[in-house]
Copies of this chain bind each other. A is one copy, B any other.
Amino acid sequence: MGPEGFLTTLPQGAIHASCSTVAPDTNRRLAEAHQQHGSTLVASPVFGKPDVAQAGNLWVGSSGPTEARQRLEPLQAAFGQGTYSFGDDAGAASVAKLCGNFLLGTVIEGMAEALTLAEKAGLDRVAFYEMLTSTLFNNPIYKSYGKLIAERHYQPVGAPPAIIRKDMNLVVQEAYKQGVPMPFANIIRDQLTATVALNEQDVDWASFAERVAQGAGL
């Protein structure tokens, strides 16, 4: 953002659609720099694994000035199946994205604890996963992450543990700033820290489920 930064290469009136998962305040500061330069930031984080992106089926969050948001919509529709607007605040879509990733983490830890207990109590881990995801939790998120956890095989890699550890740290930092105790978020961040400390990089971040299995001696 300095005198040699990328803003100097942007024409006046340009719109920068940032898909990165960053702290809400980071996008707010970036939006301010754009405004001073005469360009506009639209926060445009996406939800979905690489295969979902390839199929053009991402879910897209969007926040920033109304006119810029509207101009972006046809572009967002090219890679997403739906765009959800969170209003003018450039930070708002980042909040939504962080909360979404946090909820994915709760699915992973929850399924890991449930499947580990079930297995140790004598149930077939994979059969129980199939029952759960064809009844109460009949949902693509539970099916896709749950399969990795049920089979304890964490390929293909959607996102590696180190990347999502960064996101979970942003969740915990935003929770601290806003004054929200989030016990689940702390646990998920710690599980990812342990996963990264064990140098597990070539696996999906759902592999933090192994911390639960290993803690139970499986």
Residues of A within 8 A of B (CB): 24, 47, 59, 82, 84, 86, 89, 91-92, 95-96, 98-100, 102-104, 106-107, 109-111, 113-118, 120-123, 128, 131-132, 135-139, 141-142, 171, 174-175, 178-185, 187, 212, 215-217
Contact = CB atoms under 8 A, between A and B. Distances in A.
A156 to B, nearest CB: 19
A9 B32 CA distance: 78
Contact of A135 (B47, B107, B216): B47
Contacts of A59: 135-136
A31 to B, nearest CB: 14
Contacts of A135: 47, 59, 82, 84
A182 B84 CA distance: 35
A123 B92 contact: yes
B131 A141 contact: no
A157 to B, nearest CB: 19
Contacts of A86: 123, 128
A180 B120 contact: yes
B120 A178 contact: yes
A122 B91 contact: yes
Contact of A116 (B110, B132, B171, B180): B180
Contact of A136 (B104, B181, B217): B104
A13 to B, nearest CB: 27
Contacts of A102: 110, 113-114, 117
B117 A184 contact: no
Q: Ordered nearest first, which 4 A-B pairs have the shortest CB separation?
A: A106-B110, A120-B178, A139-B139, A99-B114
B95 A131 contact: no
Contact of A24 (B100, B113, B121, B137): B121
A216 B181 CA distance: 6
Contacts of A138: 139
Contacts of A182: 113, 117, 212
Nearest to A104: B136
